């Protein structure tokens, strides 16, 4: 059970992170491909080295997820599980609404299930999740009882519950909110440090200028594994693909796409996730999230799933 929770948390990586980071320890700029527009910007003052440091230190992506705790919104949930032969095994579809209200100095949230469709053996008896993926999904996006905390502008608490699993969780959350940070997890820890000099030889890095949805002008930090290191026999990496869109005007992260994978004796996983953010007044919120992949650890059944969650109707 413990291994399953650790690996699944690695695949989800959400809702808490220490935003502090060390500066780059070597001349990383020489590894980065710049497109012509970015090169022109560099001549006008854009510094690629400082930009990479900003990628590492960015907390805006984390903040967008935390903002969900303080607004009304609706969510369309669609989760599909598959067996070893890629045949449908179970599914869950629902529409949920979150409502918030102010109580003294706190913001309190509750959630209501508006509609629901369940197929296959999705739950155990007493509505207990059959899958670890379901358990994590509900932990992140379902509020099962009234929950209160400080306002959206208050500093976030980074306290984690006591226990060995919680310590793993705290480390694994860094992978998406702080790409490039080492994680204190056996076997894979050093392989997540994508900005370390030892890992740089395995990747192609880029900073490009692209137009995102709705005509948003962005700098895009990209990372891919070099072709000669993409086979399982020469596998030296965990982060296989990473693409982060920064709005040029604000340097706010507005989208992130990534793939993480590892094939080893103790566990296997291969997951692709895409996250899009939306701005409401001065704050950002996750608008769309997709997940596609599997994970497998000894003594536990393969969990292969796809899901999407569409969030909308944000309102203070």
Classified as helix, coil or strand, 217 is strand
Q: Which one is predicted more confidently, 19 or 242?
A: 242
Whether the predicted pLDDT of 157 surpasses 70 = no
Are the C-beta atoms of residues 129 and 79 closer than 8 Å to each other?
A: no
**Least confident range of 42-51, 60-69, 274-283:** 42-51
Instruction: Kindly state the average pLDDT of the residues 104-123.
Output: 96
Q: Which one is predicted more confidently, 24 or 233?
A: 233
Are the C-beta atoms of residues 55 and 179 closer than 8 Å to each other?
A: yes
Q: Mean pLDDT: which of 39-43, 177-181, 281-285 is highest?
A: 281-285
**What pLDDT was estimated at residue 47?**
78
Q: Is the dihedral of CA 44, 178, 181, 190 positive or negative?
A: negative
Instruction: Kindly state the tokens that stand for 241.
Output: 């693909």
User: How far, in Å, are 174, 267, 303, 304, 306 from residue 89 at the CA level?
Assistant: 32, 22, 10, 10, 12
**What pLDDT was estimated at residue 14?**
34
Are the C-beta atoms of residues 51 and 221 closer than 8 Å to each other?
A: yes
User: How far, in Å, are 165, 280, 301 from residue 1 at the CA level?
Assistant: 11, 40, 11
Q: Which one is predicted more confidently, 156 or 202?
A: 202
pLDDT single digits (tens) 199-242 = 888 999 999 999 998 899 999 999 999 999 988 766 788 889 99
Q: What is the mean pLDDT of the chain?
A: 81
d(CA 4, CA 8): 6
Q: How many domains does the chain have?
A: 1
Q: Residue 281 sits in which domain range?
A: 2-315
């Amino acid at each position: 059970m413990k291994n399953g929770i650790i690996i699944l948390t690695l695949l989800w990586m959400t809702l808490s992170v220490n935003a502090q980071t060390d500066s780059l320890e070597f001349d990383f700029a020489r590894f980065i491909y710049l497109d012509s527009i970015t090169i022109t910007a560099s001549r006008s003052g854009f510094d690629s080295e400082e930009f990479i440091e900003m990628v590492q230190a960015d907390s805006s992506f984390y903040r967008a997820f935390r903002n969900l705790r303080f607004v009304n919104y609706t969510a369309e949930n669609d989760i599909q599980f598959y067996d070893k032969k890629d045949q449908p095994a179970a599914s869950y579809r629902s529409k949920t609404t979150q409502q918030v209200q102010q109580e003294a100095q706190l913001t309190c949230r509750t959630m209501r299930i508006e509609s629901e469709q369940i197929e296959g053996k999705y739950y155990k008896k007493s509505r207990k999740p059959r899958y670890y993926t379901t358990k994590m999904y509900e932990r992140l996006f379902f509020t099962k009882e009234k929950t209160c905390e400080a306002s959206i502008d208050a500093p976030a608490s980074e306290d984690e519950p006591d226990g060995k699993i919680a310590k793993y969780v705290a480390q694994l959350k860094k992978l998406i909110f702080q790409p490039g940070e080492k994680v204190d997890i056996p076997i894979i820890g050093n392989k997540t440090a994508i900005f370390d000099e030892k890992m740089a030889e395995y990747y192609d890095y880029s900073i490009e200028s692209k137009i995102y949805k709705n005509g948003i002008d962005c700098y895009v930090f990209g990372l891919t594994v070099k072709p000669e290191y993409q086979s399982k026999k020469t596998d030296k990496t965990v982060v296989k693909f990473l693409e982060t869109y920064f709005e040029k005007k604000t340097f706010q992260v507005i989208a992130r796409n990534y793939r993480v994978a590892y094939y080893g004796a103790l566990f296997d996983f291969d997951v692709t996730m895409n996250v899009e953010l939306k701005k409401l007044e001065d704050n950002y919120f996750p608008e769309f999230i997709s997940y596609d992949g599997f994970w497998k650890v000894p003594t536990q059944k393969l969990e292969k799933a796809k899901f999407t969650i569409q969030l909308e109707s944000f309102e203070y």
